[in-house]
Amino acid sequence: MPAFSQQEYRERTTRLRQQMAARGMDTLLVLNEPNMNYLTGYDGMSDYVPQLALVCQDEEDPWLILREMDFTCATASSYLPHSRILTYPEKYIGSSQRTAWQPIANLIRERTKSNRIGVELTAKMFGVKAHAALASNLDLSKSVDADGMISKQKTIKSPAELAYMEQAGKIVDRAMQVGRLEIAVGARECDVGAAIMNALCKGTPEFPGGVCRFPTMPVGSPATAPHLKWSDASYKIGCQTNFEMGAFRHRYACALSRTVFLGEPPARARHLHQAALDGFLAQLEVIRPGVKCSDAWQAFQRAFKPYGVRKESRSGYSIGIDWVDGGGSFQADDHTVIEPNMTFHVLIGIWERDDGYIFSETVRVTENGAKSLSSVSRDLLVNY
């Protein structure tokens, strides 16, 4: 069943149609599945094949256009009536002789005669060949690049969205504690990863976890790398683990990161921890309505730079459906103005050739500042 009320979905589409009108669009092709989910509730996780949501300026509800097999995925998860779920035949899947964009184009033309069409050009699985196939079957001569339209709208969360993220925050806190406690001499990295995955899926007694991503957890010397998972190795004294994980509720993510040491940490690690924590707290202090993302980044830099640690990556980004939701980033040239009920993953990741450390929390912007969705200790985490 849908994660939100029909009213909330329709309010989202109404706001989107207002954006479309301002940009002269009669029709919008929504190709990113997280955005399809945002507008309709569709939760098929089927974006490895051509599919889209079609938004028409003069219609209250979108259309879903999917492969035939996924019709029941839509009826099980979307708020839309069956009559607004359209499908194309299975013979178009896996064929080098046919393209699914041809029947998709036909379905679009049957519902709009306008060529003032917005298209999400950088959507997953919508590469050069896919665009060419669609353009050969549909008049895109006056099409408009619609990338970022829905992302901009998604950055400010509703009370219901925030509730799901807060629930995910409780789940990811538990998963972090479970993962940390599994680390011991002789424990296999895969068993630590399995315990975390179990906790993320199991959730809490009050609410279950959603479909989750694999946790990032480089161990030992690879801890300077940002996105590695577990290996075949077992733990020994002196191992450092950089955990980055996220829990999900109805695709809404809450991310959390900590570094854990097995045995006494070296002095350099304590130095990195203090640099990361001071930078994190300084940034957290300035995140509030009216402040720009670049201002928050500068606050981080002022606190972090005196430690002499190199960090070239951004210090956070907007988070929501399926983790990164395409909103603002904490970096020097992002002047996005922060507003109430935005949510950010404040991420102090140090991934350099000689240094590796990670510390992060997901925060909600309130009228008075930033509120963390995590309650995990901010001390240096050490297992003896």
Supply the angle between the helices 293-304 and 267-286 in degrees, to the nearest 10: 150
| Intra-chain end-to-end CA distance of the chain, in Å | 46
Query: What's the pLDDT score for residue 308?
Result: 98
CATH number of the domain at 159-383, please?
A: 3.90.230.10
Query: What's the pLDDT score for residue 224?
Result: 93
Indicate the average pLDDT of the chain.
98
> What CA–CA distance (Å, rounded) separates 210 from 251?
7
Query: What's the pLDDT score for residue 242?
Result: 98
Q: Which residues pair with 130 in a beta bridge?
A: none
Query: What's the pLDDT score for residue 155?
Result: 98
Tell which residue, 98, 96, 41, 42, has the closest CA to residue 66.
42
Query: What's the pLDDT score for residue 275?
Result: 99
Confidence band, pLDDT 50/70/90 cuts, at residue 206? very high
Confidence band, pLDDT 50/70/90 cuts, at residue 138? very high
User: Is pTM beyond 0.95 here?
Assistant: yes
Burial of 330 (0-12, 13-18, 19+ CB in 10 A): buried
Q: What integer is the mean pLDDT of 148-176?
A: 98
> What CA–CA distance (Å, rounded) separates 79 from 147?
24
Write down the residue that tokens 């996780």 correspond to: 45
Query: What's the pLDDT score for residue 119?
Result: 99
Query: What's the pLDDT score for residue 229?
Result: 97
Of residues 13 and 124, the one with the higher pLDDT is 13
pLDDT in tens, 304-313: 999 999 999 9
Could you tell me the CATH superfamily of domain 6-153?
Creatinase/prolidase N-terminal domain (3.40.350.10)
Query: What's the pLDDT score for residue 347?
Result: 99
Q: Do domains 6-153 and 159-383 have the same CATH topology?
A: no
Q: CB count, 10 Å around CB of 97?
A: 6
Render 96-160 in DSSP notation, one character per residue.
SS--THHHHHHHHHTT-----EEE-TT-TT--HHHHHHHHTTS--TT-EE-TTHHHHHHTBPPHH
Domain ranges of the chain: 6-153, 159-383
DSSP class of 354: S
pLDDT in tens, 333-366: 999 999 999 999 999 999 999 899 999 999 999 9
Query: What's the pLDDT score for residue 293?
Result: 99
Query: What's the pLDDT score for residue 281?
Result: 99
Query: What's the pLDDT score for residue 279?
Result: 99
pLDDT in tens, 28-86: 999 999 999 999 999 999 999 999 999 999 999 999 999 999 999 999 999 999 999 99
> What CA–CA distance (Å, rounded) separates 51 from 68?
11
Q: What integer is the mean pLDDT of 145-158?
A: 97
